[in-house]
Amino acid sequence: MKWTQFFTPAQSLNYNEAESYISQHPGEEITILDVRQPSEYQESHIPGATLIPLPELSDRLTEIDPEKPTLVY
Amino acid sequence: MLTGNGFKKVFNVSGGIKAWHSKTAIGPQDLGIDLFNSNEEPLEVLKVAYSMEQGLREFYLTLGKDSRNEKVKALFSKLADIEIKHQISIYSSYTDLSPDKPSKDEFEKMVEARALEGGLSTKEYLDLFKPDLNSPTDVISLAMSIEAQALDLYQRVSTKIVNKESKDVINKIANEEKVHLASLGRLMDSL
pLDDT in tens, B8-38: 899 988 888 888 888 888 888 887 777 777 6
Burial of A69 per CB tally in 10 Å (0-12, 13-18, 19+): middle
Distance between CA atoms of residues B100 and B126, nearest Å: 39
Question: Which are the contacts of B156, defined by CB distance < 8 A and separation ≥ 6?
Answer: A48, A50, B29, B30, B32, B33
**Residue B69 located in a structural domain:** yes
Closest residue in chain B to residue A37, using alpha carbons only: B28
A71 and B29 in contact by Cβ < 8 A? no
The pLDDT of residue B183 is above 60: yes
Provide the ipTM.
0.86
**Residue A41 located in a structural domain:** yes
Spell out which residues of chain A touch residue B146, defining contact as CB-CB under 8 Å: none
What pLDDT, on a 0 to 100 scale, did the predictor assign at position A6? 46
Q: Which of B8, B12, B149 sits opposite A67 (nearest CB)?
A: B8
- As for how many domains chain B has, the answer is 1
**Residue B107 located in a structural domain:** yes
Domain range spanning residue B150? 37-190
Q: What is the mean pLDDT of chain B?
A: 83
- As for how many domains chain A has, the answer is 1
Spell out which residues of chain A touch residue B149, defining contact as CB-CB under 8 Å: 47
A27 and B26 in contact by Cβ < 8 A? no
Whether A53 has its CB under 8 Å from any CB of chain B: the answer is no
**Residue B13 located in a structural domain:** no
Better-scored residue on pLDDT, B84 or B189: B84
CATH of the domain at B142: 1.20.1260.10
**Residue A67 located in a structural domain:** yes
What pLDDT, on a 0 to 100 scale, did the predictor assign at position A70? 95
Domain range spanning residue A65? 34-73
Of the candidates A70, A23, A8, the one whose C-alpha atom is nearest the C-alpha of residue B12 is: A70
What pLDDT, on a 0 to 100 scale, did the predictor assign at position B113? 60
Segment 10-39 of chain A within 8 Å of chain B by CB: 10-15, 18-19, 21, 23, 26-28, 33-34, 36, 38
